[in-house]
Amino acid sequence: MNSASKQQPNARTATLGVIGHPVGHSLSPLLHNTLLWRLRLDACYHAFDVEPAQLPRAVEGAAALGFLGLNVTVPHKQGVFRLCDELSDEARILKAVNTLFFRPDGTIFGANTDPYGFRRALTEFLPNLQAFTALVLGAGGAARSVLLALSELGATTVWIANRTLSRAQRLATELAPQLPGPITLRPIGLEPRELESALKSSSLVVNATSVGMSPNTNGTPLPEGVSLRPGTAVVDLIYNPFETRLLRQAREAGCKVENGLNMLIFQAVASLEIWFGRRLDFDADVFAELRDILVSALGKTLERSRPVSS
């Protein structure tokens, strides 16, 4: 890439960003600005810390200033819902928005690119998935996105294991009728016996809880004594640390493992595709470079870890 291609912003440069609270540790500016530069898209991406009480004013202000779009992160994913004029199917089903597109006609389109990000990362990790059973750990927003993606990928049965069983039950009841394809959702708690039986029938396990995330890297969402079968595919949505304790245990047990970094990248690409209105392709070299940049940003500890995906 020559220096001329890395142009300074000018009067036509589009403005993009992420709103959250807090947002100081977000990887999104680095991820998006690298993608924008590599894909030669004339836009700049910033992080905006927006207090919940300021959310409507912030979104209105961004629209008035002619922003092209915004990503939305914790705690605003539900709050922006009612500020949208139109919603994507995924955003409606998940009741959460992670991408706002300020259309030229003045309307606001709200989308959720997390299920796409997970689906695309999983398809690359496990290209031959069909009619499978999975175990999802967690019943929050991340788990909802995973369930939608798994249903689109042809899962027939998904166990939803959560510390708070009632939350898993509510999620299953609410989500099942809205998922594409025939799928059975089976809520369970974290009792070892229930988990062992779910694990027996599952070819895929997904951690959609925050357990094991830095700085609490000693945590693991599976209780002591519950073991993974060799050959099971295990995905942890966490990418910091690069290899969680769950993924390390899974790797040592002979499982195929993957962390959440590719999902992060693919959900970002999907947001850019919404904002720029076209499919964005990039080659394996750009993808590898992007991963390297993100891994170094995640810190020296992570640099020492080997990538967990194939």
Given the residues 6, 77, 200, 256, select the one marked as catalytic.
77
* Geometric angle at alpha carbon 137, from 189 and 261, rounded to 5°: 170
Alpha-carbon distances of 36 from 41, 120, 161, rounded to whole Å: 5, 20, 38
128 residue type, one letter:
N
Q: Which stretch binds ligand ATR (CB under 6 A): 138-146, 199-207, 282-290, 292-300?
A: 138-146
Q: Is 138 in the site for ligand ATR (CB under 6 A)?
A: yes
Length of the chain equals 310
> Which of 141, 187, 241, 260 is close enough to bind ligand ATR by CB under 6 A?
141
CB of 34 or CB of 259, closer to ligand ATR: 259
- Give me the residue whose beta carbon is nearest to ligand ATR: 140
CB of 164 or CB of 197, closer to ligand ATR: 164
Q: Could you give the string, one character per residue 214-233, with x where binding to ligand ATR holds by CB under 6 A and - elsewhere?
A: -------x------------
Which stretches within 111-191 are classed as H helix? 114-125, 141-152, 165-175
Q: Could you give the string, one character per residue 173-212, with x where binding to ligand ATR holds by CB under 6 A and - elsewhere?
A: -----------------------------------xxxx-
Task: Count the neighbouring beta carbons within 10 Å of the beta carbon of residue 287.
Answer: 16
CB of 69 or CB of 221, closer to ligand ATR: 221
For residue 91, the surrounding DSSP H or E stretch is: helix 89-94
Q: Which stretch binds ligand ATR (CB under 6 A): 39-47, 109-117, 157-165, 181-189?
A: 157-165
User: Is 200 one of the annotated active-site residues of the chain?
Assistant: no
User: Dihedral of CA 32/48/262/279: which sign?
Assistant: negative
Rg, Å, the chain Cα set = 20
| Nearest Cα to Cα of residue 21 among 95, 72, 64, 60 | 72
Residues forming the site for ligand ATR (CB under 6 A): 138-143, 162-164, 167, 208-211, 221
